[in-house]
Structure 1
Amino acid sequence: MAETTDDSLLGGRVAVTQPAKGHRAGTDAVLLAASAAVGPGDVVVDVGASTGAVGLMAAAREKNARFVFVERDPDLAELCRRNCHANGVEGEVAAIDVLDKAARLGAGLAAESADWVLTNPPFLEEGQARISPDRGRAAAHALPVGGLEAWLKACTGLLKPKGRFVMIHRADRLADCLNLLVRSVGGVALRFVHPAADQPAIRFLLSGTKGSRGPLAVLPPVVLNGPDGRFTAQAEALHRGEAFLT
């Protein structure tokens, strides 16, 4: 296994061992976890979990839920298992490709079994941009052609009727995601993430309910940095686990 570092999230409430190089948990994971109001007894599936940061941060808010982590890279899946143990979370880790239906079933991920699906999909598809030469970063950032549609279909397929779906993605993929989710998720709430108040959004957070016919709502944005280049009060509170987006 590659070199790792021991890091903390949410002001030290969550410990994660993760690769020293490649894709590492950061602001995207914090915002995604902060957008899920998980309740006691809920079944929560973290799809594309990497080392488990999103699910573990959600568990720090509500430990009396069942957490399932889906990660195709076996080394990251093993780190996820270690991180669950280190944080006292009895999580189930499925070292499978979520796009593989047979693998999902073999891992016990039945259709319509989750109350929540949280996901930070790989942002790119093959051919859209130059992919990183780092194997871990490339795997985290790129899907096969048509992979985003398959990823979202797999995610929403895991949800129970009225289950909640939450994702974060690049702002320039918003139209694609809305088009792909329109038949499965409704009552969509969008929240844009801006690096600064005078700069365009770089991410969006999307949440919705499976089978809902509710209208789309645009929520107040998250602005990460103030004029001094430091985190805004809201961003700092989110990163320390002292504020939520629900």
Structure 2
Amino acid sequence: MMKMMIVDDEPIILRGIAAMVRGGMDQPDIMEAADGYEALERLPDFKPDLLMADVNMPEMSGLQLIEEAQRRGYCSRFIILTGYDEFEYARKALRLGVKDYLLKPVQREELLGAIFQASGYGEEAAEGRNAASGGQDGGVIDAVLYYLRQHYQRDLSLDEAARHAGVHPNYLCHMMKRDLGIGFVAYLRQIRIEKAKELLAGGPAVPIGDVAQAVGYEQARHFFKVFKRMTGMTPGQYRSASDSPGR
């Protein structure tokens, strides 16, 4: 059973993340905290396997909480929650050894995939299964990547891709991270953004909202944030740059 502490000063987000974790994992032991000080009070007795904290909290930021938890030896595995405006904080957190960061609003599959990767659970079992399979993982990965490229336009989950490949979702996530250096959600996001760039750069101007839906994003606002985080430009800026002479 994995022990996890979630820290966020927004009650709706805190409850929502806890509900997604409980609904997607096998009986996790979750403790919630509304701020960094409450977390520090509870950490010595709880001693979580994984601590997830919002970056932007009053009085004590998520990074300050993580640094203090590391210093006191309360926890060694961390994930941070961040909005686009705090992306530089996220980069700093990765340099500090934080396992991953999640961009709000958090998507369920991305959340569960990040938790699995950060926690380290299942790695030994996955390696044992790979040895027993006679090295068939490469074929599984190829099949999954092909499937993603064929179905990226719609709501595509890790569970669905794993069923298609005939493996457990956690095992698929582990294989992709091990063999490709990138998780399921990150790879799917990469495909979608590359396809979006093609749509923005070629042919007549397609409304950005239509581009978002064409590559699998129901909410144009979320597409905008992801595109800017990955390319450094808004979709409109990328289109303008692509239309510039000499490009």
Superposed pair shares fold, TM > 0.5 = no
Q: With the length of structure 1 as denominator, give the TM-score of the two structures.
A: 0.29
| Larger proportion of strand | 1
Larger radius of gyration: 2
Question: Which protein, 1 or 2, shows the higher relative CO under an 8 Å CA cutoff with sep ≥ 6?
Answer: 1
